[in-house]
Amino acid sequence: MLKEYKNGERFEGIVLVNEWKEVPFRQKPGAFLSLMCQDRSGVMQGKMWEYPPQILTWLREQDIFLIHGVVSEYRGALDLTIEDMRMIPKEDVDLTMLLPCSPISEIELETRLRVLLDKIHRPELGKLVGQFLDHPEWGRAYRLAPAAVKIHQAYLRGLWEHSVRVTELADGIAGHFPGMDQDLVLAGALLHDIGKIGEYSYDRGIKFTTEGRLLGHIVMGLELLSGEIAKISEFPQELRYKLLHIISSHHGKYEWQSPKRPKLMEALVIHYADVMDAELYQFEQAKASHPDDDWSPYIPSMERYLYLK
């Protein structure tokens, strides 16, 4: 992995190049090529001092390359002097090698997911969630998609991690309140963000899809869920409304793009579990990135500085 190399070592490996530009020299003609090289371990700036013109064409069309070069230290940071780069067919590459990924392992996520699934007693709900998670396409995407473009869990398997965390939290909260339909909380929390499967593309960096921008993950999640429910004969009508309402209302406020505010106890709990997971994730990230500081930098999404001690 890119970030494991040290000053002076030769590097040979596959990287994703999402950003690049030609940088003109200041006082002589010509320019060099600056490329942001990324694999799962992180990002390293690359420089190519001489390059054939066709490389610009490749860069416009492709983003995965086999790179040869030398790592060297430049003003305290490492960068990569690239000697050669070649195109690699996308099909030959394992995406999780190139993009950042949840720090929680697949085995752990699957185990925690199964624990949650086993707690759902009502057959229709168990069947619905199971069917979705075992769906050849949805199940795989659910376990691979990021949870966001930035802000929280913006990496592969982020949706899976976020869904498991929110469900565990919501389940715990629900247990404090009599009259709560715990099965509905479990199923609703596991499914609340499924629309994110299609809201982002993540085959080359994490970006919004056109469908994601036009419809958003709430509307897309409603469609997915509606389609899955339709496959189960005699699924109770009211239960259906409730699940759709949970997806509709999980952002909690109109201003946050929820077309409904939570009107069920279960929807309320899922909304707050979702908000808390996202906000506390900010603390976790800030602590990890600034292990020696008392205060985080200003966090725009939370409109405040966080105290890290």
Residues that bind a second copy (CB under 8 A): 22, 24-28, 31, 74-76, 165, 168-169, 172-173, 175-177, 179, 210-211, 213-216, 218-219, 222-223, 226, 238, 241-242, 244-245, 248, 254-261, 263-265, 268-269, 272, 275-276, 279-280, 283-284, 287, 294-295, 302-307, 309
Minimum separation from the CB atom of position 294 to a second copy (A) = 6
Please, what is the minimum distance in Å from the beta carbon of residue 176 to a second copy? 5
Between 83 and 279, name the residue whose CB sits nearer to a second copy.
Answer: 279
Between 71 and 98, name the residue whose CB sits nearer to a second copy. 71
CB closer to a second copy out of 61 and 238: 238
* Nearest alpha carbon to residue 93 among 71, 123, 62, 114: 62
* Residue (67 or 153) nearer to a second copy, CB: 153
Pairing mode of beta strands 200-201, 207-208: antiparallel
**Whose Cβ is closer to a second copy: residue 6's or residue 60's?**
60
Question: Two tokens at 295?
Answer: 């205060």
**Closest CB 94 distance from a second copy, rounded Å:** 28
Residues 209/201, Cβ–Cβ less than 8 Å: yes
Q: Under a CB-based contact definition with an 8 Å cutoff, are residues 237 and 124 in contact?
A: no
Q: Which is nearer to a second copy, 158 or 262 (CB)?
A: 262
Minimum CB distance to a second copy, residue 4 (Å)? 25
Q: Are residues 106 and 143 in contact, defined by beta-carbon separation less than 8 angstroms?
A: yes
Query: Which residues are CB-contacts of 122 (< 8 A; sequence separation ≥ 6)?
Result: 183, 184
- Rounded to a whole number of angstroms, the minimum distance from the CB of residue 12 to a second copy is 26
Distance of CA 105 to the CA centre of its chain: 14
For the bound state, the minimum distance from the C-beta of residue 146 to a second copy, rounded and expressed in Å, comes to 19
CA–CA separation, 185 vs 192, rounded Å?
Answer: 10
- 230: helix, strand or coil: helix
Q: Tell me how many degrees the CA angle 206-92-2 measures, rounded to the nearest 5.
A: 60
- Least separation in angstroms between residue 107's CB and a second copy is 19
What ranges make up the beta strands (E) of 90-234?
Answer: 200-201, 207-208
Terminal Cα distance for the chain, rounded: 32
Nearer to a second copy, 50 or 255 (CB): 255
| N residues, the chain | 309
